[in-house]
Amino acid sequence: MNGKRAAVVTSGCQMNKYESERIAGILVGLGYDMTDDVRTASLVLLNTCSVRDKAEQKVYSQLGHLRWLKRNNPELIVGVCGCVAQQEGERIQERAPHVDLVFGPQNIPKLPALLAEVQTHQRQVSDLADNPLWDEQLFPIRRESPFQAWVTVMQGCDKFCTFCVVPYTRGREQSRPTAAIQREIETLAGQGYREVTLLGQIIDSYGKRSAEGKDLADLLELIHPIEGISRIRFITSHPRHFTEKLMRTVGVLEKVCEYIHLPVQSGSNSILRRMHRGYTREDYLARVERLRTLVPDVAISTDVIIGFPGETDEDFEQTRHLVEAAEFDSMYLFKYSPRPGTKAATFPDQIPDALKSERFQAILELQEAIQLQRNRARVGRCEEVLVEGPSKKGSVQLTGRTRQNRPVNFVGHPSLIGSLVTVKIEKGGVHSLEGQVCAE
Ligand code: SAM
Ligand code: SF4
């Protein structure tokens, strides 16, 4: 051990978590030991999210803490990467002069050179250039789990929904070649991985721009035969691109889990139009119905934004009705947060926070009641569970997820972690199920 220790602190989505695994792989290759304790690290990288302003504010408060650490340890290197880095750029180093390094999500492969520059020249460094070529270099990625893996199949987004910062921070949409994805999953299978989750901001438009002419359904067909992989998931789907072909493919391919994340954002057609989502509430509900027909027992989760500019009581009622009609299995609920550079941030009629909170609470209560009912309906079933680890509830309790992505807690021996077991469901709560192992 040479004493170099690095901590990567991650906020935000699965894409960021995956990219932190890539960053950790690079750092281990450079001779760093990874740690979760920023106090003992010689390098701290904040991998940030700027989708909502709360996440962004968190970065500046974390940087405040790191300034204090750097005062006691001037050798400490502090870096900011991810979406806030891309969006704020060198302003971060102006506001927080103790930040040595700023780089965007497209420049992770350059990390060794950027660090060398900081160390050699003892000066602040930043790299926010667009790097439109898919990076095919192989990095020794350091994955958090030995049996579940994320695999990026697309980068960027061209949709420019009026509320969203992603197209500005993650650049243009690009699909990765199928052969590279297959190779990565074959390697994972060889290393004992059981579950892969394909990642992309609009994953159901995979392949749209590539010369290969293969879409997501084709990709699923290609990776399905890979031996050793038992479960395949993919996120996030856009309602506009979820084709009949894709639904049928999910319905017939055994390893593809019956879980679809399909963000609706709003139930009001006038809001959906102003969000530039490209579908109506009727389109969305028709898609949900078709999915439930073609993929038996599918669980559907969604994202909803409350308080988009100009949201009237009538718009809100439309969202409430859509939530009732769609009966989602789970939901990520957000209060609209104006993002710099996006169109909606300039719209008139921004909604006061108190009204957003009131509407948020109403949807939350409605969704929790629906979720409780849907989870209770699982009682008595035997569900396949991939055991993920000890549950927070106690030492003999384990936790895992069903094919429909429902968390399940049950009593079991830690040797089960990483394997598929069958659990008989005995209780359904709002957020999780409880049961007993009936077969291994
Ligand atoms: N690509 C996905 C899609 O089209 O649905 C969403 C990706 S975005 C990183 C994740 C979620 O954050 C969105 O579905 C949306 O609900 C939420 N979100 C994005 N921008 C937001 C904003 N300005 N305010 C509140 N929530 C926001
Ligand atoms: Fe953002 Fe819309 Fe792209 Fe999703 S589809 S990442 S919400 S711009």
Instruction: Say if residues 126 and 80 touch (Cβ distance below 8 Å).
Output: no
pLDDT value of residue 48: 94
For residue 416, the CA-to-ligand 1 centroid distance in Å is: 36
Instruction: Answer yes or no: is pLDDT of 395 > 80.
Output: no
> CA 71, CA 75: separation in Å to the nearest integer?
9
Give the pLDDT mean for 103-124: 90
Residue 79's beta-bridge partner residues? 45, 101
Ligand nearest to the CA of 235: 1
> CA 151, CA 183: separation in Å to the nearest integer?
11
Ligand 1 close to Cβ of residue 205 (< 6 A): no
Q: Which residue has the higher pLDDT, 216 or 14?
A: 216
Give the pLDDT confidence of 303-335 residue by residue, as tens digits.
999 999 999 999 999 999 999 999 999 999 999
> CA 374, CA 368: separation in Å to the nearest integer?
10
pLDDT value of residue 291: 98
Instruction: Answer yes or no: is pLDDT of 440 > 80.
Output: no
Three-state secondary structure call for residue 265:
strand
Structural tokens at position 169: 């921070």
pLDDT value of residue 130: 76
- 53 pLDDT band (50/70/90 cuts)? confident
Give the pLDDT mean for 179-201: 95
Instruction: Answer yes or no: is pLDDT of 190 > 60.
Output: yes
- Per DSSP bridges, beta strands 101-103 and 125-127 are parallel
Mutate to test the pocket of ligand 1, among 15, 50, 51, 170 (most ligand atoms within 8 A of CB): 51
Mutate to test the pocket of ligand 2, among 14, 52, 161, 277 (most ligand atoms within 8 A of CB): 161
Atom of ligand 2 nearest to the CA of 265: 7
Name the percent of the chain lying above pLDDT 70: 96
For residue 195, the CA-to-ligand 2 centroid distance in Å is: 26
pLDDT value of residue 144: 92
- 132 pLDDT band (50/70/90 cuts)? low
Q: In 295-428, which ranges are continuous DSSP H helix? A: 313-326, 353-376
> CA 328, CA 321: separation in Å to the nearest integer?
12
Query: 287-320 burial, b if ≥16 CB within 10 A, otherwise e?
Result: bbeebeebbeebbbbbebbbbbbbbeeebbebbe
> CA 352, CA 310: separation in Å to the nearest integer?
10
For residue 323, the CA-to-ligand 1 centroid distance in Å is: 17
Instruction: Answer yes or no: is pLDDT of 135 > 60.
Output: no
pLDDT value of residue 259: 98
Give the pLDDT mean for 29-50: 95
Atom of ligand 2 nearest to the CA of 158: 3
Residue nearest to atom 1 of ligand 2 (CA): 164
Residue in this structure with the two tokens 């990625």, named with its chain if needed: 141
Instruction: Answer yes or no: is pLDDT of 171 > 90.
Output: no
Give the pLDDT mean for 275-289: 98
Peptide bond into 120 cis (omega under 30): no
Structural tokens at position 210: 């590539």
Identify how many contiguous H helices and E strands the chain contains and give both numbers: 13, 19
pLDDT value of residue 253: 98
- Per DSSP bridges, beta strands 299-306 and 259-261 are parallel
Ligand 1 close to Cβ of residue 70 (< 6 A): no
Ligand 2 first shell, C-beta below 6 A: 157, 159-161, 164, 166-167, 201-202, 238
pLDDT value of residue 137: 57
pLDDT value of residue 139: 65
Ligand 1 close to Cβ of residue 279 (< 6 A): no
- 423 pLDDT band (50/70/90 cuts)? very high
Instruction: Answer yes or no: is pLDDT of 403 > 70.
Output: yes
Give the pLDDT mean for 375-390: 96
Which residues are CB-contacts of 399 (< 8 A; sequence separation ≥ 6)?
Answer: 387, 388, 389, 390, 391, 392, 407, 408, 409, 410, 432
Ligand nearest to the CA of 339: 1
> CA 371, CA 194: separation in Å to the nearest integer?
28
CA 132 to chain centre: 21
Task: Quote the DSSP letter at residue 254.
Answer: T
Atom of ligand 1 nearest to the CA of 265: 16
Give the pLDDT confidence of 4-20 residue by residue, as tens digits.
999 999 998 889 999 99
pLDDT value of residue 338: 95
For residue 263, the CA-to-ligand 2 centroid distance in Å is: 10
Instruction: Say if residues 6 and 32 touch (Cβ distance below 8 Å).
Output: yes
Q: What share of the chain is helix, strand, coil (3-state, %, to 5)?
A: 40, 25, 40
